[in-house]
Chain A
Amino acid sequence: MSMNLNLTLKVWRQKNSNDKGHMETYEARDISTEMSFLEMLDVVNEKLALEGKEPIAFDNDCREGICGTCGAVVNGIAHGPQKATTLCQLHMRHFKDGDVIYIEPWRSKAFKVVKDLIVDRSAFDKIIQAGGYVSVNTGQAPEANNIPISPEKAELAMDAAACIGCGACVAACPNASAMLFVSAKISHLALLPQGKVEASERTLSMLRKMDELGFGNCSNERECEAVCPKEISIANIARFNREFIKANLGSTVE
Chain B
Amino acid sequence: MQLESRAPGGPLQEKWDKHRFDLKLVNPANKRKFDIIVVGTGLAGGSAAATLAESGYNVKNFCIQDSPRRAHSIAAQGGINAAKNYPGDGDSIRRLFYDTIKGGDFRARESNVYRLAQISNEIIDQCTAQGVPFAREYGGMLANRSFGGAQVSRTFYARGQTGQQLLLGAYSALMRQVGAGNIEMFPRREVLDIIVVDGQARGIVVRNLITGEIESHAAHAVIMATGGYANTYYLSTNAMNSNVNAIWRAYKKGAFFANPCYVQIHPTCIPVHGTYQSKLTLMSESLRNDGRVWVPRKSGDKRNPNDIPESERDYYLERKYPSFGNLVPRDVASRNAKAQCDEGKGVGSTGLAVYLDFRDAIKRDGAEAIRKKYGNLFQMYERITAQDPYRTPMMIYPAIHYVMGGLWVDYNLMSTVPGLFVLGEANFSDHGANRLGASALMQGLADGYFVIPYTLGGYIAGSSLSDVNESHQAFKDSVKKQTEQINKLLSINGKRTVDDFHKQLGHVLWDNCGMARNDADMEKAKKMIPEIRDEFWQNVTVPGSAGDLNQSLERANRVADFLEFAELLVEDAISRRESCGCHFNVDFQTEEHEAKRDDENCSYVSAWEYNGEGKEPTLHKEPLEFENIELTQRSYK
Which A residues have a C-beta under 8 Å from some C-beta of B? 2, 15-16, 32, 34-36, 38-39, 42-43, 46, 48-50, 52-55, 57, 59-69, 82, 85, 89, 91, 93, 114-115, 118, 120-122, 124-125, 128-130, 132-145, 147-151, 154-155, 157-158, 161-162, 164-165, 188-189, 192, 194-195
Contact = CB atoms under 8 A, between A and B. Distances in A.
18 contacts: A32-B276, A39-B277, A49-B497, A60-B240, A61-B70, A64-B380, A66-B161, A67-B72, A69-B66, A89-B380, A136-B129, A138-B449, A138-B453, A141-B130, A144-B84, A144-B142, A147-B129, A161-B165
Contacts of A150: 136, 140
A162 B160 CA distance: 10
Interface string B167-185: 0100111011011000001
Contacts of A59: 66
A45 to B, nearest CB: 8
A54 B67 contact: no
B239 A63 contact: yes
B131 A189 contact: yes
B50 interface: yes
B130 A62 contact: no
Contacts of A138: 47, 50-51, 54, 126, 173, 449-450, 453
Contacts of B138: 151
Given A69-B70, A129-B175, A85 B131 contact: no
Contacts of A16: 548-549
B239 A67 contact: yes
A162 B187 CA distance: 23
Nearest to B275: A32
Interface in B496-552: 497-500, 541, 543-544, 548-549, 551-552
Interface in B145-203: 158-159, 161, 163-165, 168, 171-173, 175-176, 178-179, 185, 187
Interface residues of B, number: 81
Interface in B32-48: 47
B130 A194 contact: yes
Given A66-B74, A136-B130, A138-B453, A61 B84 contact: no
A157 B132 CA distance: 9
Contacts of B386: 91, 93
A57 B553 CA distance: 12
A39 B449 CA distance: 37
Interface string B103-133: 0000000000000000000101110111101
Contacts of A142: 125, 129
B172 A133 contact: yes
A157 B133 contact: yes
B129 A128 contact: no
A93 B386 CA distance: 9
Interface in B249-302: 273-274, 276-279, 281-282
Contacts of A54: 543-544, 552
A121 B566 CA distance: 35
B556 to A, nearest CB: 10
Contact of A42 (B175, B210, B278): B278
A151 B136 contact: yes
B22 interface: no
Contacts, number: 220
A144 B80 CA distance: 14
Q: Which of A138, A147, A158, A194 has the most B CB atoms < 10 Å from its CB?
A: A138
Nearest to A156: B133
Nearest to B47: A138
A117 to B, nearest CB: 11
B135 interface: yes
B130 A64 contact: no
Contacts of A93: 386
A162 B164 CA distance: 8
Contacts of A148: 136, 139-141
A154 B276 contact: no
Contacts of B165: 158, 161
A31 B240 CA distance: 21
Nearest to B180: A129
10 closest Cβ contacts across the A-B interface? A148-B140, A129-B179, A141-B129, A133-B172, A141-B125, A144-B128, A158-B133, A138-B51, A61-B239, A157-B133
B601 to A, nearest CB: 41
A97 to B, nearest CB: 17
Contacts of A60: 240
Given A128-B175, A139-B126, 11 more contacts: A46-B499, A52-B493, A65-B380, A66-B74, A67-B72, A118-B549, A121-B67, A122-B187, A125-B69, A136-B129, A194-B131
A85 B276 contact: no
A135 B169 CA distance: 11
Q: Which of B164, B274, B282, B495 has the most A CB atoms < 10 Å from its CB?
A: B164
B228 interface: no
A49 to B, nearest CB: 5
Contacts of B66: 59, 69, 118, 120-122
Nearest to B134: A154
Nearest to B170: A138
B7 interface: no
A134 B179 CA distance: 13
B75 interface: yes
A190 to B, nearest CB: 10
A120 B138 CA distance: 42
A155 B172 CA distance: 20
Contacts of B383: 82, 85, 89, 91
A104 B544 CA distance: 21
Q: Which of A46, A125, A189 has the most B CB atoms < 10 Å from its CB?
A: A125
Nearest to A138: B51
B68 interface: yes
A134 B125 contact: no
B314 to A, nearest CB: 27
Given A121-B66, A128-B175, A134 B54 contact: no
B29 interface: no
A134 B50 CA distance: 13
Contacts of B450: 138
A67 B161 CA distance: 11
Contacts of B626: none
Contact of A64 (B133, B140, B241, B281): B281
Contacts of B276: 32, 35, 39, 42-43
B1 interface: no
Contacts of B495: 50
B239 A145 contact: no
A43 B158 CA distance: 36
B369 to A, nearest CB: 15
Contact of A134 (B141, B172, B541): B172
B310 interface: no
A63 B543 contact: no
B137 interface: yes
Contact of A144 (B124, B171, B173): B124
A114 B187 CA distance: 14
Given A52-B543, A63-B240, A67-B74, A188 B134 contact: no
B129 A134 contact: yes
A91 B384 contact: yes
Contacts of B133: 154-155, 157-158, 161, 188, 192
